[in-house]
């Protein structure tokens, strides 16, 4: 897939539809040895990226890097390396759900992140609005969970039990990107989407 170099990141030159279609294709294929993941940089993330080695590594290993921010798209045009459009994480998840009816069988998703109660509300809204999407589970990890081995094991176990096609990870940046990169070989989902506050938006 073609990329555009911007601020040291290699951003994929895809429309929202193309990006959602790629995630759906991966969801329809067998799970690989390691979970693929998608990151959606905005300007704040691009600033963190400059001084965070771990975040740079996470981006290098991402299957898709998508421009979640009009300023990034504007910069791509000004620099003569135009991206087709903004692809926000908060638009990618609903567009993927729109496409789910093209898949044989339901698209199963697991929600990781957001405050207790919020992911549950998002799950109910998703299943009501998109009948082709099945929410296989949700979990709101406690503060500081990523430093707790038992808690990380527990989360990986919940995901393994649910076997989702897609894991939505809403833990904020850079925590979500670092967590997904660190555990990708152990995450039993086909693709993880690092999507910031999207679970909150889906909760309405
Ligand atoms: N969040 C979480 N656990 C944490 C930190 C944040 O679940 O330890 C959630 C928070 O509830 C919210 C999201 O992460 O749903 C924050 O997303 P936002 O897009 O505001 O963060 P950004 O990616 O811009 O840093």
For atom 8 of ligand 1, the residue with the nearest CA is 143
Read off the pLDDT of each residue in 123-147 and give the average, rounded to a whole number: 97
Per-residue pLDDT, 168: 98
Per-residue pLDDT reduced to its tens digit, 63-89: 999 999 999 999 999 999 999 999 999
Read off the pLDDT of each residue in 42-57 and give the average, rounded to a whole number: 97
Count the domains in the chain. Answer: 1
Cβ within 8 Å of residue 71, ≥6 positions away = 42, 43
Distance between Cα 187 and ligand 1 center (Å): 20
For atom 23 of ligand 1, the residue with the nearest CA is 172
Distance between Cα 29 and ligand 1 center (Å): 29
From the alpha carbon of 199, which atom of ligand 1 is closest?
15
**Composition of the chain by helix, strand, coil, percent to 5:** 50, 20, 35
Read off the pLDDT of each residue in 31-49 and give the average, rounded to a whole number: 96
Distance, in Å, from the CA atom of 18 to the CA atom of 71, rounded to the nearest integer, reads 21
Distance, in Å, from the CA atom of 106 to the CA atom of 110, rounded to the nearest integer, reads 13
Question: Residue 37 belongs to what domain range?
Answer: 3-203
Confidence of residue 24 (pLDDT cuts 50, 70, 90): very high
Confidence of residue 182 (pLDDT cuts 50, 70, 90): very high
Per-residue pLDDT, 59: 98
């Amino acid at each position: 897939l073609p990329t555009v170099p911007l601020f040291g990141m290699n951003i994929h030159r895809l429309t929202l539809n193309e990006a959602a279609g790629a995630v759906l294709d991966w969801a329809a294929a067998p799970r690989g040895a390691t979970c693929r993941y998608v990151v959606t940089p905005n300007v704040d993330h691009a600033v963190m990226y400059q001084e965070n080695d771990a975040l740079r590594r996470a981006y290098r290993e991402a299957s898709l890097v998508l421009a979640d921010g009009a300023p990034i798209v504007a910069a791509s045009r000004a620099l003569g390396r135009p991206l087709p459009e903004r692809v926000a994480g908060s638009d990618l998840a609903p567009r993927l759900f729109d496409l789910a009816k093209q898949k044989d069988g339901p698209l199963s998703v697991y929600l990781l992140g957001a405050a207790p109660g919020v992911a549950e509300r998002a799950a109910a809204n998703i299943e009501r609005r998109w009948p082709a999407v099945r929410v296989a589970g949700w979990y709101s990890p406690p503060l500081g969970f990523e430093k707790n081995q038992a808690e990380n094991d527990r989360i990986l176990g919940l995901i393994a039990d649910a076997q989702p096609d897609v894991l939505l990870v809403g833990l904020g940046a850079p925590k979500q990107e670092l967590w997904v990169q660190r555990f990708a070989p152990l995450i039993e989902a086909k693709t993880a989407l690092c999507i910031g506050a999207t679970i909150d938006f889906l909760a309405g």
